[in-house]
Amino acid sequence: MSKRIKKGIIASPGIRMGKAIVFRGDEIKIPKYHINEANLEKEIERFNDALNKTKQEIIEIQNKIAEEKFNDLADIFSTHIMALEDPHFIERARRKIRQEQRNAEWVINDISIELINSLSQIDDEYLRERIVDVSDINKRLISNLQQKNKVNLSDINEYSILFASDLTPSETALLNRQYILAFVTDHGGKTSHTAIMARSMDIPAIVGMDDITSYVKNDDYVIVDAIHGEIIINPSQEEIGEYKKYQLELEKIEEELSKLTTLPSVTTDSIEVFLYGNLEIPDEMENIKNHGAHGVGLFRTEFLFLGKNLPDEESQFQEYKKVVEFFNPYPVTIRTLDFGGDKIPGSMKFQREMNPFLGCRSIRFSLRNIEIFKTQLRAILRASAFGKIKIMFPMISNLSELIEAKKITHDVMDELRISGIPFDPDVKLGIMIEVPSAVIAADILAEEADFFSVGTNDLVQYILAVDRSNEKIADIYNPLDISVLRFLKMMADTSHKYSIPISICGEMAGEAKYTMLLLGLGFLELSMSSKNLYLVKNVIRSVSMEECQNFTHHVLSLKKQEEIEQIFNDVVFKKFPDLILK
Q: Please, which residues have CB within 8 angstroms of residue 310's CB and are 6 or more apart in sequence?
A: 346, 347, 348, 372, 375
Q: Give the H/E segment covering residue 410.
A: helix 399-418
Residues in the chain: 582
Round to whole Å and give the CA distance between 330 and 6. Answer: 40
Measured distance CA(18)–CA(244) in Å, rounded: 12
Query: How far is CA 523 from each of CA 1, 29, 142, 490, rounded to the nearest angstrom?
Result: 48, 55, 52, 12
3-state secondary structure of 184: strand
CB of 203 within 8 A of CB of 180? yes
Q: Please name the amino acid found at residue 18.
A: G
| 432, 455 Cβ separation under 8 angstroms | yes
Selecting among 187, 193, 291, 294, the annotated active-site residue is: 193
Catalytic residue, chosen from 187, 291, 294, 505, is 505
C-alpha 430: how far from chain center: 22
C-alpha to C-alpha distance for 241 and 235, rounded to whole angstroms:
10
Q: Contact 320/283 with Cβ under 8 angstroms?
A: no
Q: Compute the Cα dihedral for 481, 482, 483, 485 and give only its sign.
A: positive
How many CB atoms neighbour CB 244 within 10 A? 13
According to DSSP, residue 34 is labeled B
Using CA atoms, how far residue 220 sits from 17, 185, 232, 514, in Å, is 11, 16, 10, 38
For residues 333 and 395, is the Cβ–Cβ distance under 8 A?
no
Helix or strand holding residue 160 (H, E): strand 160-164
Q: Could you give the CA distance from residue 326 to residue 387 in angstroms, rounded to a whole number?
A: 9
Torsion of the alpha carbons at 402, 406, 408 and 411, rounded to the nearest 10: -160
Q: Is 505 a residue of the active site?
A: yes
Q: Is the dihedral of CA 7, 12, 14, 19 positive or negative?
A: negative
193 classed as catalytic: yes
Annotated catalytic sites, by residue?
193, 505
